[in-house]
Structure 1
Amino acid sequence: MKKLLLATTLLALSAGFASANVVRLATEGAYPPFNLIDDKGEVGGFEREFGDEICKRAALECTWSTNEWDSIIPNLQSGNYDVIVAGMSITDERKKVIDFTQDYYPPTPSAFVAASADADCKTGVVSAQVSTIQAAHVAETGMSLLEFPTPDETVAAVRNGEALCVFADSDYLRPLVNESNGALMFVGEPVSIGGGVGMGLRQSDQELKGKLDAAITAMKADGTLNTMIEKYFGPEGLKY
């Protein structure tokens, strides 16, 4: 009887979720212009506008929350939310544990930034955010890696001399370099890693993935996504 009641309860909960079409979106809130916390204490940035538009087109009621980057995949797997919208690059390694929609931001090169134009990043400490494709690349190439929980800490490490260079998405670093008045600069050559940015979701949520993919396809087709990218990333932003 207990098993029957439990099964009935689970079925009712599942039906309620499906009928309500409520999807819980999670982001980091610390990676502008992809995502940030605005002056009102709310999620903002490119991915907030993008996510809201996706939910509108897919006829989904969506809520937003933030989660620290290092635990953002485990908490998706644990059911604390349904979709990651956090500047996450699509990689084969991540696809072993979660699924992705098609990319909504094209593959963008990663770059090194230092406080001196003659900095040789291969010979010094390189800072990167933990659990990112940049941190993995630094480790794999044998450079000295110093990891931090948040992206702003990786840049601060260069400013205060803890690291010689920071390695991150060029789109994240570009405004910081432009606003530094010459204190920060790109060094070396850009590095292409990752397969574009996608929405992460549980491998079992294929129906939801289909709805999200259809909405992304429509936004690409009618130019809405390109307009949104230029709004937040400027003319340098990669487009479809």
Structure 2
Amino acid sequence: MKFIKRTLAFTGALALAASMSACASTANTSTGATDNPYNLKQPGTIQVVINSDAKPFTYMDNGKPAGFDKELLDHIANDLNLKVTYTGQEFSAILPALGQGRYDMGAAGISITDERKKTVDFSDGYFVARYAVLDKKGSGITSDKASLKGKRIAVTQGSYQETLATKNFTESSLVKFTDNTVGLLAVKNGTADALFTDLPIAAGYVQENPDVPFETTYGIAADDAPIGYAIKKGNTKLTDALNAGVKKAIEDGTYKTIYEKYFAGIKLPAEYQPKK
């Protein structure tokens, strides 16, 4: 009889402990969700990996991160009462770093493709991507695609431009570099005939190098691969918050203000016009 009573007492103690443990677990989960509603690596701070050589999307200005992607994200994060930290990487390392869970998201003029969706999630597109060939006047390259035959075209390794160039410039030789700056230098010194990159980046290089007779020639519009923020896979809370933030910035005109600051001379597409 004593044995039975002890057994019942022991079983009851286990049940009570399990119940308390479950309550504590629920409380911890609830508290965690409240403290970290966007499932960030560090509650209250979005850790972002960028390419510091993708002006005007993301770049370094006097040692500080800057650019269209960065300023738009800062605005959204401020509305969410979140801080943002930025870490620079070569473009080809951004998506692998997100896939490994080292950051919450990436921003670098990143084109949204089905292949990349295997590694990361994306926000809704917030920029219609257009690409151009940057060459020196007298190179023989024109707006006619045939003029690229036999030319050495520099591209950033791992970029969507590399994918487009591989598909479209089948009679050209692709020279792959770690970033646009190295590719630009190759065009300057003649080890490459042209650089294939985002139109805003190419246009910026023309303005920033008045001593070199740069020009933009052959172009490609890639409406099927808009630019968006890359997000660590599975973080739907952050993805939804970014989508809502981008939509609000477009509707209230904040997006237009930031766009015109970085893309002067490039017409704002109708879908990004403020809602009156």
Structures share a fold, TM > 0.5? yes
Say which of 157, 179, 187 aligns to 2:208: 179
Distance 2:192 2:31 in 1: 50
Deviation at 1:108, TM superposition (A): 2.6
Partner of 1:50: 72
Equivalenced residue count is 230
Report how far residue 116 of structure 1 moved: 2.6
Contact 2:77/2:83 (CA < 8 Å) preserved in 1?
A: yes
2:150 aligns to what?
123
Which structure 2 residues correspond to residues 98-117 of structure 1 after superposition, within 5 A? 98-105=120-127, 107-117=128-138
In the other structure, the counterpart of 1:134 is: 161
3-state SS of the aligned residue for 1:103?
A: coil
Is 2:37–2:237's contact at 8 Å kept on the other side of the alignment?
no
Give CA deviations for 1:51-80 in whole Å, capped at 9, x if unaligned.
Answer: 110101233232222222111111111111
Structure 2: give runs of 5+ residues left out of the alignment: 1-20, 142-146
Whether the 8 Å CA contact 1:22–1:62 is kept in 2: the answer is yes
- Could you say if the C-alpha distance between residues 179 and 28 of structure 1 is closer, same or farther in structure 2, counting changes exceeding 3 Å? closer
Amino acid paired to 1:138: A
- Letter of the 2:152 counterpart: V
CA distance in 2, matches of 1:51, 1:59: 12
Cα RMSD (Å):
2.3
SS at match of 2:108: coil
Instruction: Give the TM-score, by structure 2 length.
Output: 0.76
Equivalent residue in structure 2 for 1:159, among 167, 173, 188: 188
- Secondary structure at the residue paired with 1:81? coil
What is the match of residue 207 of structure 1? 237
Residue aligned with 2:111, SS: coil
Aligned equivalent of 1:231, options 261, 265, 273: 261
Larger Rg: 2
Residue 85 of structure 1 aligns to a residue in which SS?
A: strand
Structure 1 residue 122: Cα displacement: 2.3
User: Are 2:47 and 2:105, in contact at CA under 8 Å, matched by a contact in 1?
Assistant: yes
Q: Give, in whole Å, the separation in 2 of the partners of 1:237 and 1:162.
A: 34
Match of 1:153, SS state, is helix
What's the CA shift for 1:92?
Answer: 1.7
205-214 or 55-64, larger mean C-alpha shift: 55-64
- The secondary structure found in structure 1 opposite 2:206 is helix
Equivalent residue, structure 2, for 1:88 = 110
Q: Percent identity?
A: 27
Q: CA deviation at 1:152?
A: 0.8
Does 1:21 find its partner at 2:44? yes
Q: Answer yes or no: is the 8 Å Cα contact 1:171–1:237 preserved in 2.
A: no
SS at match of 2:182: helix
